[in-house]
Amino acid sequence: MTPYPEARLTVGSEDQELSDRLDRELTAYNRAAVDAEEAEVSVRAEDASGALVGGLTASTWGTLGSIHMLWVDPAHRASGLGGRLMAAAEEEAARRGCTVMEVSSYTFQAPPFYRRLGYTETGRIEGVPGGHADVYFTKPLAPAAPTPPFHLTAIVDYPADDTAPARAAEEAALALLSRHGGHLERRLTTPDGRSEVHLLRFPSESAYLADPDRPDPRATGTQIRVLEVGEIHG
Residue 13: per-residue pLDDT: 95
**Mean pLDDT (the chain, rounded):** 92
Residue 89: per-residue pLDDT: 97
Check if the beta carbon of residue 154 is closer than 8 Å to that of residue 197: yes
Task: Express each pLDDT in 130-184 by its tens digit.
Answer: 999 999 999 999 887 777 889 999 999 999 888 899 999 999 999 999 989 899 9
What is the average per-residue pLDDT within 97-126?
A: 96
Task: Express each pLDDT in 50-96 by its tens digit.
Answer: 999 999 999 999 999 999 999 999 999 889 999 999 999 999 999 89
Q: Could you tell me what percent of the chain has a pLDDT over 70?
A: 97
148/64 Cα distance (integer angstroms): 22
Say which amino acid occupies 134.
D
Question: Is 48's pLDDT higher than 80?
Answer: yes
Check if the beta carbon of residue 131 is closer than 8 Å to that of residue 113: no
Measured in residues, the chain has a length of: 234
Residue 1: per-residue pLDDT: 55
Residue 2: per-residue pLDDT: 63
- In which band, very low, low, confident or very high, does the pLDDT at 26 lie, cut at 50, 70 and 90? very high
Sign of CA dihedral 127, 135, 36, 33: positive
Residue 31: per-residue pLDDT: 84
Question: Is 233's pLDDT higher than 70?
Answer: no
Nearest to 150 by CA among 111, 108, 207, 192: 207
